[in-house]
Amino acid sequence: AASPRRSYSITLLPGDGIGPEVVSVAKDVLSLVGSLQGIEFRFREVPVGGAALDSTGVPLPDETLAAAKESDAVLLGAIGGYKWDANEKHLKPETGLLQLRAGLGVFANLRPATVLPQLVDSSTLKKEVAEGVDIMVVRELTGGIYFGKPRGFGSNDRGEDIGFNTEVYSASEIDRIARVAFEVARKRHGKLCSVDKANVLEASMLWRKRVNGLASEFPDVELSHMYVDNAAMQLIRNPKQFDTIVTNNIFGDILSDEASMLTGSIGMLPSASIGDLGPGLFEPIHGSAPDIAGQDKANPLATVLSAAMLLRYGLGEEEAAKRIEAAVINTLNRGFRTGDIFSGGTTLVGCKQMGEEVLRSVEAGK
């Protein structure tokens, strides 16, 4: 029987630099997968970042946030560039991204770090260590030391200048991120490692207690705990031991960048930021790459894979997500590479042609 026709509205935020080039490719891929699988996507493109600053005077116009909130999912390209680097703090394009995350209430940041067999030579690790690495870091995004109060500057009792920040997590903040991580682990390979510093920090002690308290709800997930210093070491020593990692905001900031560097392919890595209600935000982890913007050199695959995450984690359209991921693998298997992942024996293509090859692979796939 034909599956019922589904219809979704997607907000596209191309942003700056290579953002418009890579988002345009991902949009075409979504459209094709949709038409092949009976899913309708209605796209609405609105400005954010430097592009919005130039046209409206602010990096996140009210209409942009409103459009994002009304839609079913948001796909972002990249934000920022040399042009605005000298701007005052509140007029930086990057402020738009922080406001967007806050406005959407996305508290869980999902960052996969996968070493594809076709790109194992790009990894910073030795081949035998890198091969088969497939990690998902789930980072708490809206709490912890980056937001905790009190914070500020002051002076101590000797009159010396001090700076201080506070790590705070409530039970409910921990529970909601842990639930997301258990669900993610369940959809992946069933292993969850919670990373903390529970030997030293009270916020981490509560973290560990709450995560343990939820374990009985997920009997199919194998839960373990690791201190963050050890986790940083194990990621380099034997990254294959990890499936899904869940951790707080600051540890996740560091560990997700560390994990992504294992792959060595910044142009290949997607991300998802999701909350309880409302649309999720999906974007490549790379920046606006102003050095190659407008030259048709950008690798669009990180954004295409972000569109796959949008389907899986944002809309629950697992089959369509798989079809996109399979098409990316197929395109690499056919030898096509952008400059950032180019190596001997492969075919160098630009952003547009890479997009066309992915479309061909989507069409050919089942």
Structural element, H or E, at residue 289: none
Partner touching 340 among ligand ATP, Mg ion, none, CB below 5 to 8 Å by kind = ligand ATP
As measured in angstroms, the least distance from the Cβ of 274 to ligand ATP is 21
Residue closer to ligand ATP (CB basis): 174 or 266: 266
146 carries an active-site annotation: yes
From residue 281, alpha-carbon distances to 113, 184, 287, 288, 341 in Å are 18, 16, 15, 17, 26
Contact 75, 12 (CB under 8 A): yes
Residue closer to Mg ion (CB basis): 81 or 279: 81
The amino acid at residue 33 is: V
253 carries an active-site annotation: yes
The only residue of 141, 226, 266, 310 in contact with ligand ATP, by rule CB under 6 A: 266
As measured in angstroms, the least distance from the Cβ of 81 to ligand ATP is 8
Structural element, H or E, at residue 63: helix 62-70
Q: Please list every residue from 7 through 26 that binds ligand ATP, using CB under 6 A.
A: 18
As measured in angstroms, the least distance from the Cβ of 257 to ligand ATP is 10
257 carries an active-site annotation: yes
The only residue of 292, 305, 315, 362 in contact with ligand ATP, by rule CB under 6 A: 292
Q: Report how far residue 286's alpha carbon sits from residue 308's, in angstroms, rounded to the nearest whole number.
A: 17
Q: Report how far residue 365's alpha carbon sits from residue 32's, in angstroms, rounded to the nearest whole number.
A: 12
Q: Please list every residue from 151 through 210 that binds ligand ATP, using CB under 6 A.
A: none
Q: Report how far residue 242's alpha carbon sits from residue 75's, in angstroms, rounded to the nearest whole number.
A: 28
Q: Does 276 bind ligand ATP (CB under 6 A)?
A: no
Q: Report how far residue 87's alpha carbon sits from residue 245's, in angstroms, rounded to the nearest whole number.
A: 36
As measured in angstroms, the least distance from the Cβ of 85 to Mg ion is 8
Phi, psi values for residue 205, rounded to 5°: -65, -45
Contact 105, 281 (CB under 8 A): no
Side-chain half-sphere CA neighbours of 69 within 13 A: 14
Residue closer to ligand ATP (CB basis): 168 or 261: 261
Q: Site mask, ligand ATP, residues 223-262, x = CB under 6 A?
A: ----------------------------------------
- Options 6-14, 15-23, 63-71, 281-289: segment touching Mg ion (CB under 5 A): 281-289
Q: Report how far residue 162's alpha carbon sits from residue 346's, in angstroms, rounded to the nearest whole number.
A: 55
CA 28 to chain CA mean position, Å: 20
Residue 219 burial (10 A CB sphere; 0-12, 13-18, 19+):
exposed
Q: Which of 27, 253, 297, 313 is catalytic?
A: 253
The only residue of 287, 290, 350, 365 in contact with Mg ion, by rule CB under 5 A: 287
Helix runs in 215-248, H state only: 228-237
Q: Does 96 bind ligand ATP (CB under 6 A)?
A: no
Q: Which of 16, 197, 313, 340 is catalytic?
A: 197
Q: Report how far residue 230's alpha carbon sits from residue 197's, in angstroms, rounded to the nearest whole number.
A: 10
- Options 36-44, 151-159, 166-174, 291-299: segment touching ligand ATP (CB under 6 A): 291-299
Residue 178, token pair as written in the block: 């842990």
Residue closer to ligand ATP (CB basis): 18 or 178: 18
Per-position DSSP letters for 280-316, written without gaps between them? EEEEESS---TTTTTTT----HHHHHHHHHIIIIIS-
Q: Does 267 bind ligand ATP (CB under 6 A)?
A: yes
Q: At what angle do helices 19-37 and 351-364 cross, to 10 degrees?
A: 10
The only residue of 298, 310, 321, 332 in contact with ligand ATP, by rule CB under 6 A: 298
Count of beta carbons in the 10 Å neighbourhood of residue 156: 9
As measured in angstroms, the least distance from the Cβ of 114 to Mg ion is 24
Q: Which of 85, 229, 276, 291 is catalytic?
A: 229
Give the residue numbers marked as catalytic: 146, 197, 229, 253, 257
- By the criterion CB under 5 A, which residues form the site for Mg ion? 287
- By the criterion CB under 6 A, which residues form the site for ligand ATP? 18, 80, 266-267, 286-289, 291-292, 298-299, 302, 338, 340
